[in-house]
A = this chain, B = another copy of it.
Amino acid sequence: MINSTIISSVEVIAFDADDTLFINEPYFEEAERKFCVLFQDYLSHQSLSNMLFKTQVDNLPLYGYGIKGYVLSMIEAAIKITNGTGSTKMMSKILEIGKELAQQPIVLLDGVEDTLAQLHGKYKLIVATKGDLKDQQRKLHDSGLGHYFHHIEVMSEKAELNYEKLFNRLDINSANFLMIGNSLKSDVLPVLNSGGWAIHVPFHTTWEHERIDHEIVHNNFRSCKKISDILPLLL
């Protein structure tokens, strides 16, 4: 049963960026498809995809999130896949895939601009996103949404400790903080655990690393089908 009672006491609303404000994961999936086509003489798409995912997750502690780490993991996976026999032309193709990824157009999700416009002035709006600083700043800039936001916070990991640092920096109590995003793991659970509010607005596809397999029941948790559905809970 979905809890749809009004959310009270919120002062700051933080929005996740990727797949909450604008499209992201489909671009990574497209990059992965290109990678799999490039190496399809070596292994099945499924095996290539698995090797890439494993390499990427193994490298997360060192590289963090974002396009550059992803491309470095693609190169590392390619070396393993070809057992050192691949050509540098293939490496060059991977660099191209990465440069394309870093320049994809920013496509806002339905209702985002209108939702921000209606909340603007009534709440302090911020962006709280994880990933690569350069990528995220470029995307926010290209989105044209920058003027709605008081602050853009790029976090290396959306963990409880990092949310708590953010509350300190914004000088607010967790009870006055609401996070809105498409990832239960990154946008919802750590915020609820820190005493804040969270609304889940799912996107049609979620990166494997972000998936969780249990249901969330919590007084401070809401779920909405689309971003404009958050308005009746807040206005």
Contact = CB atoms under 8 A, between A and B. Distances in A.
Given A75-B95, A85-B88, A91-B79, A154 B133 contact: yes
Copies held by the complex: 2
B92 A88 contact: no
B156 A99 contact: no
Contacts of A85: 88
Contacts of A79: 88, 91-92, 95
Given A71-B72, A87-B84, A91-B91, A62 B156 contact: no
A205 B107 CA distance: 43
A98 interface: yes
Contacts of A62: 99, 102-103
21 contacts: A62-B103, A63-B102, A63-B134, A64-B133, A64-B134, A68-B68, A71-B72, A75-B75, A75-B95, A76-B95, A78-B88, A79-B88, A79-B95, A82-B88, A85-B88, A86-B88, A88-B88, A132-B134, A133-B156, A134-B156, A154-B154
Interface of A: 62-64, 66, 68-69, 71-72, 75-76, 78-79, 82, 84-89, 91-92, 95, 98-99, 102-103, 132-134, 137, 151, 154, 156, 169
Given A133-B133, A133-B154, 4 more contacts: A62-B99, A75-B95, A76-B92, A88-B88
The 4 closest A-B pairs by CB, nearest first: A64-B134, A68-B68, A133-B133, A86-B88
